[in-house]
Chains A and B, each alone.
Chain A
Amino acid sequence: DIQLTQSPSSLSASVGDRVTITCRASQAINNFLSWYQQRPGKAPKLLIFGASTLQPGVPSRFSGSGSGTDFTLTISSLQPEDVGSYYCQKHNSAPFTFGPGTKVDIK
């Protein structure tokens, strides 16, 4: 099965900072990658699918890029409400594995 890794596992940044999270697949998955945000105590929320397509209603400060094995989620200007964990997920074929997550908080 294809495995996903994420880096960093956690980060602390200031409000307004640019934040970048990386997801790497053990084999190429074309652009079949999604990103989710999970705020503390809440259900996950879809941010980006198809590696770079913003889910309707998601703020434009979130963006995704990449293809093949290397993917990036960028928050252009970190806001207090962005605190939580971020997960990538492959969706090219089952199993639709999640990455281990990146925890983001405010410095």
Chain B
Amino acid sequence: QVQLMQSGTEVKKPGASVKVSCKASGFIFTNYGFSWVRQAPGQGLEWMGWISAFNGQTLLGQNLQDRVILTTDTSTTTAYMELRGLTSDDTAVYYCARAAGASSPDYWAQGTLVTVSS
């Protein structure tokens, strides 16, 4: 069955970077892409970007495109999201989700809480 498993909770200082992993199993990794979505405490969903596991093509949200790096590792069927230059506004739960093409994510991982605090 399709499974997406993210790395655990992170606590970072302002200005630091964080890298969240998303281990995929139960489907052909390179047939899909991965969307990354975040949710600040008590807030709605914010689309961050998408990466193709087939060719590494990325689509990024304008708000974060200067600070976010999306990658995949086909040897370990893992997608990664790295966010640099963290501020308190980046405190959120970060989700990865499988997305055929660049469209509706159909399976979501459990989320990773990233807290940015001095």
Binding site for B on A (CB under 8 A): 1, 32, 34, 36, 38, 43-46, 49-50, 55, 85, 87, 89, 91, 94-101
Contact = CB atoms under 8 A, between A and B. Distances in A.
Contact of A87 (B44, B61, B108, B111): B44
Which among B47, B60, B110 has the highest number of chain A CB atoms within 10 Å? B47
B45 A46 contact: no
A44 B102 contact: no
Contacts, number: 61
Q: Is the interface of B mostly helix, strand, loop or mixed?
A: loop
A91 B103 CA distance: 5
Given A46-B104, A91-B102, A94-B61, 18 more contacts: A34-B103, A43-B97, A43-B111, A44-B37, A44-B108, A50-B104, A87-B44, A87-B45, A89-B47, A94-B60, A95-B47, A95-B59, A95-B61, A96-B50, A96-B59, A97-B47, A98-B47, A101-B45
Contacts of A97: 47
A94 B60 CA distance: 8
A54 to B, nearest CB: 12
Interface residues of B, number: 22
B80 interface: no
23 contacts: A34-B104, A36-B45, A38-B45, A44-B45, A44-B108, A46-B106, A46-B108, A49-B103, A49-B106, A85-B44, A87-B44, A87-B45, A89-B45, A91-B103, A94-B59, A94-B61, A94-B102, A95-B47, A95-B61, A95-B62, A96-B35, A96-B47, A96-B59
Given A89-B47, A98-B46, A101-B45, A1 B106 contact: no
Contacts of A94: 50, 59-61, 102
Main secondary structure on A side of the interface with B: loop
Contact of A44 (B59, B60, B95, B103): B95
Contact of A100 (B44, B47, B62, B110): B44
A43 B108 contact: yes
Contact of B44 (A49, A50, A101): A101
Contact of A43 (B44, B50, B59, B110): B110
